[in-house]
């Protein structure tokens, strides 16, 4: 339903349990890591070396085409209703 889809695309501070898009099991595991890296880069989760996390996301998207739509939606997700302006500023 529309409300379920909308809830999937709202910012959250915890790593997603499943990819936003319908992708293979292998890609799903990669999507979870990318979401964690995105949270760390944006500062929504405290992780070391945020710039390296961003580089890792870009590298994975460049090297693995099937994950690109997922990365795009994860970025949109973390920008949507994110209560931390400093997090949003890192991506825009």
pLDDT digits (tens, 9 = 90+) for 65-84: 999 999 999 999 999 999 99
pLDDT of residue 53: 97
Cα-based distances in Å from 35 to 1, 9, 49: 23, 12, 15
Q: Which residues of 27-57 are buried (b: 16+ CB within 10 A; e: fewer)?
A: bbebbbebbbbbbbbbebbeeeebeebbebb
- Predicted structure pTM score: 0.91
Residues of the chain with pLDDT under 70: 1-6
8-state DSSP, 66:
G
């Amino acid at each position: 339903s529309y409300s379920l889809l909308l809830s999937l695309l709202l910012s959250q501070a915890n790593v997603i349990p499943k990819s936003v898009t319908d992708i293979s099991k292998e890609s799903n595991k990669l999507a979870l890591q990318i979401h964690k890296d995105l949270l760390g880069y944006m500062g929504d989760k405290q992780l070391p070396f945020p710039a390296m996390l961003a580089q890792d996301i870009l590298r994975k998207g460049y090297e693995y085409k099937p994950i690109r739509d997922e990365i795009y939606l994860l970025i949109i997700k973390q920008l949507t209703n994110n209560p931390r302006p400093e997090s949003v500023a890192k991506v825009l």
